[in-house]
Amino acid sequence: MITVVFSVFLLTLLVITALGVVRAQNLFTAVMLTGIFSLLMAANFFVLDAADVALTEAAVGAGISTVLLLGALGLTPREERASGAKRWLALVVTALTTVVLLYATFEQPRLGDPQAPVHQHVAPWYLEKTPELVDIPNVVTAVLGSYRGYDTLGEVIVVLTAGIGVLFLLGLPGAVGDRPRDDIAKGRTYLSHHLVPQVVGRLVIPFILLFALYVQFHGEYGPGGGFQAGAIFAAAMILYALIEGEREALTVISPKLLIWMMAGGALLYGSVGLVTMALGGNFLDYNVLHSNPVAGQQWGIIVIELGVGITVAGVLLAIYHAFAARGH
């Protein structure tokens, strides 16, 4: 009963926050409310026992998306321009979409129903065999890193390809020239006019980086992994760039290092598969990495998750710096 009441409370806050985002005229206020909305969504996922999805929403929605929107504020006016267009069409489309989604929920199985189709496929086998074959508590990490290692490698390649495509449009990170020189001389950054994010950012950035490392190397025992850790790390570095400036951020992680991170993580992942083949196993068959197959699975997952985190962080940072170089 307490869980139901709390869920209703969170959903109510979601609706209120969404209305606040729509009604906000100040863009900085809208960005902050968007971050709050993502945190509330993460809390909802956690209540539904989807801890890994909750962490992903917090890292990507409340973390990386918020700092990217803060960076975009440096290229836009602070207030939303008044629109003279009629909004009745958008209201009708939104209302119809809401009705369709509500109707679709009536066909869904009840929460926690053991007879739901998703629980009758391979999920029982994963839950039964993971302690024996991989011996890590987080079954999600075992599924993504081991059983579906091919799929995860494909996702990493997709992230890398998307990053390369964006950089072809915006320019390579090596072409980043920083903000206009008058801004540099006067010490202005994207958050120059917002004291609270500047002060809070300097305090939390070390803890964000520490949490990224925790998520990276603790993903087998709790929610997390390479994707979430890479997004959290990138969010911390982008926040640093927003506070201290592009030039200082690129001094910490140079453009050349960003390119190596983008490609190096994917190469590290693929190299694990080549090593397993060289040792007589199948591609991404971690059992051959150690005399004890279970230990081999654990070592393989740690290395490929590190590759995922490096590529995700490199791609997000490279895209941000290329975007920031465009100036006003």
Which of 37-51, 180-194, 221-235, 279-293 has maximum average pLDDT? 279-293
| ∠ Cα 34 35 38 (to 5°) | 90
Q: How far apart are CA 164 and CA 314, in angstroms?
A: 11
Which of 50-64, 72-86, 274-288 has maximum average pLDDT? 274-288
Instruction: Enter the tokens of residue 96.
Output: 């119809």
Q: How far apart are CA 256 and CA 269, in angstroms?
A: 20
pLDDT at residue 187 tops 50: no
Ordered structural domains, the chain, with CATH: 1-119 (1.20.120.1200), 122-328 (no CATH)
- CB count within 10 Å of CB 2 equals 6
Q: How far apart are CA 151 and CA 82, in angstroms?
A: 45
In the predicted model, what is the mean pLDDT of residues 102-122? 80
pLDDT digits (tens, 9 = 90+) for 156-186: 999 999 889 888 887 766 544 444 444 443 4
pLDDT at residue 74 tops 90: no
Per DSSP, the chain holds a count of helices (H) and strands (E) of 14, 0
Q: How far apart are CA 235 and CA 293, in angstroms?
A: 36
| ∠ Cα 121 269 314 (to 5°) | 110
Q: What pLDDT does residue 266 have?
A: 94
143-to-125, 147, 150 alpha-carbon distances in Å:
11, 5, 11
Q: How far apart are CA 238 and CA 125, in angstroms?
A: 41
pLDDT at residue 305 tops 90: yes
Instruction: Enter the tokens of residue 270.
Output: 């693929």
DSSP string over 139-203: HHHHIIIIITHHHHHHHHHHHHHHHHHHHHHH--GGG---S-HHHHHTT--TTTT-HHHHHHHHH
Instruction: Enter the tokens of residue 36.
Output: 């709050």
pTM over 0.85, yes/no = no
Contact 313, 263 (CB under 8 A): no
Selection from 59, 48, 21, 52 nearest residue 37 by Cα: 21
| Residue-level length of the chain | 328
Q: What pLDDT does residue 239 have?
A: 86
pLDDT digits (tens, 9 = 90+) for 261-303: 999 999 999 999 999 999 999 999 999 999 999 999 999 999 9
First-to-final CA distance of the chain:
52
Q: What pLDDT does residue 62 have?
A: 81
Angle of the 226-244 helix axis to the 293-324 helix axis, nearest 10? 30
In the predicted model, what is the mean pLDDT of residues 90-111? 86
- The proportion of the chain whose per-residue pLDDT surpasses 90, expressed as a percent, equals 30
In the predicted model, what is the mean pLDDT of residues 202-208? 90
Q: What pLDDT does residue 270 have?
A: 94
Q: What pLDDT does residue 199 have?
A: 80
Q: What pLDDT does residue 194 have?
A: 67
In the predicted model, what is the mean pLDDT of residues 9-31? 88
Contact 298, 142 (CB under 8 A): no
Contact 297, 244 (CB under 8 A): no
